[in-house]
Amino acid sequence: MFTVTVFLIVSSLHTACANPCSEFSCDCTDTKVNCNSKSLVDIPADIPNSTTTLTFFGNKISTITADAFKGLAFLTFLLLTENEVSSIAANAFNDVVALEQLSEKYTNRTVTISKNTEMWNEVFREHQNLSPHCNGNLEWDLSMEEKWGSAWRECAKCTQCAYKSKMFNLYEEVASVKRGRRAAKINLGLQVGLHHTPISTASYRKICMASNIPPPSISGMQHTANAISEKIEEENMRDLQRQREKIKRIKKIRGENPDVVNIQSDCVYNNAIYSGIGKTPFQPATQCAYTVAENETYKHSIINTLPKSKLCSKRKHTVSTNVGEHAGPCTANINMQDSIGNEERWARECFEELKEDGLEINEVTTDPDSSAYRAAECLYQEGLTSTTPIHFLDTRHVASNHRKFVNNLSTVCDIMPARLKVQRTRLQSLFASDMAARCQAEFVQANIRYHKSPDVMKSKLSYVSDAIVGCYCGDHTDCSLYSFVCSISRKSQSWIDKSAYLKRHNFEIELNENSENILRQCVNYRLGPGMLAKTAKSANTQKVEALNRSIRSTVPVNVTYARNFTGRVHTACHKVNHGTGNSIVILCEAAGSPIQPVDGRWGSWSTTCSVTCGSGTEYRNIMCDSPSPSEEGIYFIGDAKKLSQCHLGDCPSHIELVNKE
DNA sequence: CAACGCTTGTCGTTTCGCGC
DNA sequence: GCGCGAAACGACAAGCGTTG
């Protein structure tokens, strides 16, 4: 037994105006009858004939008899949701003028409302034509129902005559000019959604079953996922090209060379490495994605991504077998024996693709340990590009490495202001964090002020270096003159007294030749001319790292999506460029399953009276918010505001108010 | 090492547009 | 009306990885 709820909108040619509401069990105003939540088992027999709106929400109605709506010629709106309707008399709606829309919702079945409406309209009409005198009930023929992925195919039958409807597809189909059956939109849309999450076939089916929803078959979902994966890849490739063209246009408008672009790039790896430790000497599951984002606009759009996988979906690759050595398509695009960590190689492929679109690389921002810059350099040296590449390092990685450098320097431990080795070691760790933060803070402030003149910045920061050395030794004279973050001479307000790391430790290093040299060594790591040149633009790789996190969240490390890896990387890329919501809408459309626009409908009236007692003016407001229209949906048209008189009873007299006080 | 979970490939079945 | 072919889904088998 399953629950059926019916929602009907019928149109009438008349406007009712009689007084229908005398002596009727339901709530009744004018021509509106409200029978909601009254534990009704049947439709009441005495519904006024002039009723235009009739609601039966939340009752226990199971059967709709032939004369349930007899004589209700003016009915325009009928609501039967949250009931247990299992059969409807074939001629139940004979007196209702013109059936416009009917929707039906099963518990546990995914059904498109408009398709369901079409089905029942057709079933009622067909039955009426074939057996005009039959008094039987029309009901679902459950013996015939078919699941179609997440969607359903259903038909109806008559309880009395031999009428049996044809099968109806209760789902939207993907438009196609090709031959053959059409995919259900919901099945494609589902896969687009799943591509944005780490959930795949098995987990989704568990969710369905936990909710008592019959899930699609395992392989059916997988096949759809594979198809969607390819479509998403195609769409994202087109989108990346559009992003590249956009950058060119922006640079042209700025009056800059549109063929040269500043970039940030990084690689993310998906290795099920831990599964192999101590177990297998050979690790077959190895994937990576190299990504390039532009460093020209605040958006830092991704302009190229390169998924690389050693995983062959046919599982025919070994160390001695190369890509393309077996028949049919292969999801692996690098050989087993190749190094997955060869960032120079991936970067080169990325840059070559950009060059094909007429973009050459100028400033390259990478992690300090990346060899990607060498790719740009090689392309230039080989004469394939004509722009000299410049290498910059990600400032956050530099700060992190700076902390590690100071923390690992044994000489630093010796000058820490503490008596015991244990204390000094602990102080060194805090000092390293503070030193990295201090230098980064000074650098950021200098960059804000002098980013347009690198030479001035370099000169200012050389003074700052002296100030920092003095600062840690308790001398804030230089700080007050040159530091950007410790510019007040009184010690109580110095950087160290505000430091989260050092303020509790009464930190002051004894100044001598040795300690000064060590401190200078520490400061120079970050603010010395070499590192300043590498970080001059204060560029970072945060955008590509955001993509890396997005990829990790959609391709779990311990699941090897051999076939869908590429699709999931492209999904993550599209998501980062457009935002999750927009991305799903765009990708659904690309997959052939566009999300239908939602039209707005009026909500309920809200009233505000201009006075708290006596007579005043009343504004009645109504919002188009039930639901609100989607971006492409339409607003309901009409007056959203009405003006009328309101009366809130007599106001208390002056004497009454005085007595109250 | 066996049981189990997850993904993928192959084959069979069904539907539906198109041409004859 | 019939046959062909494309496309979709489901059943089943196989392979890899994890867990106890």
Q: Is the CB of A315 less than 7 A from some atom of nucleic acid strand C?
A: yes
Measured from Cα to the C1' atom, the residue closest to C15 is: A315
Which residues have CB atoms below 7 Å from chain B, the nucleic strand?
A 167, 169, 177, 179-182, 200-203, 206, 218-219, 222, 225-226, 313-314, 328, 331, 559, 561-564
* Helices assigned H by DSSP within A254-364: 343-356
Mean pLDDT computed over A280-307? 79
Q: Which of these ranges, A64-73, A321-330, A331-340, A460-469, has the smallest mean pLDDT?
A: A321-330
CA A548 to chain CA centroid, Å, is: 15
What is the spatial distance between Cα A526 and Cα A518, in angstroms, rounded to a whole number?
14
- pLDDT of A185-237, one tens digit each? 777 788 888 888 777 777 777 777 666 666 777 777 777 787 787 778 888 88
In the prediction, which pLDDT does A407 show?
A: 93
- pLDDT of A399-445, one tens digit each? 999 999 999 999 999 899 888 889 899 999 999 999 999 999 999 99
Which residue matches tokens 């290498």?
A: A391
Mean pLDDT computed over A534-550? 87
Strands across the sheet containing A641-647:
A606-609, A615-621, A641-647
- pLDDT of A314-338, one tens digit each? 555 655 566 666 555 566 777 766 7
Measured from Cα to the C1' atom, the residue closest to C17 is: A275
Confidence of residue A379 (pLDDT cuts 50, 70, 90): very high
Helix (H) or strand (E) segment spanning residue A236: helix A218-253
The amino acid at residue A370 is S
- Identify whether the C-beta of residue A171 lies closer than 8 Å to the C-beta of residue A152: yes
What is the spatial distance between Cα A232 and Cα A228, in angstroms, rounded to a whole number?
6
Cα A457 to Cα A15, A533, A548, distances in angstroms: 80, 11, 33
CA A104 to chain CA centroid, Å, is: 30
Averaged confidence pLDDT in chain A? 76
- Identify whether the C-beta of residue A600 lies closer than 8 Å to the C-beta of residue A628: yes
In the prediction, which pLDDT does A383 show?
A: 92
- Identify whether the C-beta of residue A209 lies closer than 8 Å to the C-beta of residue A217: no
Q: Is the CB of A318 less than 7 A from some atom of nucleic acid strand C?
A: no
Q: How far apart are the first and last CA of chain A?
A: 66
Q: Which nucleotide is nearest to A186 (CA to C1')?
A: C8
**Does the structure show a pLDDT above 80 at A62?**
no
SS3 percent helix, strand, coil of chain A, rounded to 5, is 40, 15, 45
The amino acid at residue A365 is T
**Does the structure show a pLDDT above 70 at A48?**
yes
In the prediction, which pLDDT does A45 show?
A: 80
Nucleotides of C under 7 A from a protein CB: 5-13, 15-18
- As a rounded value in angstroms, the CA-to-C1' distance for A228 and B2 is 36
- pLDDT of A21-40, one tens digit each? 555 677 777 777 878 777 88
Residue A409, Cβ neighbours under 10 Å: how many?
A: 16
Reduced to 3 states, what is the DSSP secondary structure of residue A583? helix
Number of H helices, E strands in chain A: 18, 21
Residue A62's closest CA among A34, A33, A40, A46?
Answer: A40
**Does the structure show a pLDDT above 80 at A466?**
yes
Helix (H) or strand (E) segment spanning residue A513: helix A513-527
Question: Can you give the pTM of this predicted structure?
Answer: 0.72
What is the spatial distance between Cα A532 and Cα A513, in angstroms, rounded to a whole number?
25
Any idea of the CA torsion for A182, A186, A192, A193, to the nearest 10 degrees? Answer: -170
What is the spatial distance between Cα A238 and Cα A248, in angstroms, rounded to a whole number?
16
Confidence of residue A552 (pLDDT cuts 50, 70, 90): confident
- As a rounded value in angstroms, the CA-to-C1' distance for A16 and C6 is 55
